[in-house]
């Protein structure tokens, strides 16, 4: 049996806010991930308290947006037991000025934490979202062809199937559940990238990762599963477990945790 690696992904909707609430520390104490992928950090490293940027247990990499208080990703990697960590940002042919793609090379893996665009601001933003999906697929396909083992996770900002959303009929055609973006996710699957949760639990419904702050949506579990882990089809056998931590407060998203065998 090989060594296990626990990877967590969480859209924190403001890293300073979730830290101030104490929920980041609570999460780390309860789940102790080896790698933590954060999205929507909404801060540059120099704006963060020292407890975050000089953490005792984790190396940290921040890929922030140029625009203050917007988007951004980060990756934290445990200092103990993990060696030769290389932090990277962005992807080819894409101006990542919103800090959307953070990645590491670690233990023979290329691990991505990605904050995919929402696409709802304008027609140009919508087209940009669709292009981002396509660019990202081309990039990870190229890395795989070059012999790299790729894991990607994060806020994909799309529910793939009806089972992934509490109100499919009411939201059909809306941003986040539009046929064109859903088709892009189907292309990922057709290219051999496995949605780890759905592959593991094909019939399990009412498991979501984002809830509106309005009308008690989280309490009533009127949610959207828009946060994912994807791996290559051949790598799926190395998955030990995956879970949506729906009871974890601090953000309008919940964390997703996946454990693999190295």
**CB under 8 A, 24+ apart: contacts of 181-185:** 181/119, 181/129, 181/130, 181/133, 181/157, 182/158, 184/130, 184/133, 184/134, 184/137, 184/158, 185/133, 185/156, 185/158, 185/160
Alpha-carbon gap, residue 250 to 20, rounded angstroms: 9
The CA distances from residue 189 to 88, 117, 149, 214, in Å, are 25, 19, 16, 33
Which of these is catalytic: 32, 95, 155, 232? 155
Give residue for tokens 């990607």. 152
Residue 252 catalytic? no
Alpha-carbon gap, residue 45 to 25, rounded angstroms: 18
The CA distances from residue 141 to 195, 225, 239, 249, in Å, are 15, 24, 20, 35
Known catalytic residues are: 155
């Amino acid at each position: 049996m090989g060594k296990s690696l626990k990877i967590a992904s969480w859209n924190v909707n403001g890293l300073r806010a979730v830290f101030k609430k104490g929920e980041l520390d609570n999460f780390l104490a309860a789940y102790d991930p080896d790698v933590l992928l954060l999205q929507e950090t909404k801060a540059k490293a120099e704006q963060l308290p020292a407890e975050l940027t000089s953490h005792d247990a984790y190396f940290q990499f921040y890929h922030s947006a140029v625009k203050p208080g917007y988007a951004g990703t980060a990756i934290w990697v445990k200092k103990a037991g993990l060696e030769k960590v290389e932090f990277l940002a962005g992807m080819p042919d894409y101006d990542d000025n919103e800090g959307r793609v953070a990645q590491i090379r670690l233990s023979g893996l290329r691990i991505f934490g990605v904050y995919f665009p929402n696409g709802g601001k304008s027609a140009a933003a919508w087209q940009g979202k669709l292009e981002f999906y396509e660019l990202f697929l081309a990039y990870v396909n190229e890395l795989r062809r070059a012999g790299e083992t790729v894991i990607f996770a994060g806020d994909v900002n799309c529910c793939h199937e009806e089972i992934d959303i509490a109100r499919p009929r009411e939201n059909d055609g809306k941003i986040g559940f539009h046929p064109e973006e859903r088709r892009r996710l189907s292309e990922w699957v057709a290219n051999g990238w496995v949605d780890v949760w759905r592959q593991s639990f094909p019939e399990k419904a009412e498991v979501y990762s984002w809830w509106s702050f309005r009308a008690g949506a989280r309490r009533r579990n009127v949610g959207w599963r828009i946060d994912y882990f994807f791996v290559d089809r051949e790598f799926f056998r190395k998955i030990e477990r995956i879970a949506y931590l729906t009871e974890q407060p601090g953000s309008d998203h919940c964390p997703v945790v996946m454990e693999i065998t190295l």
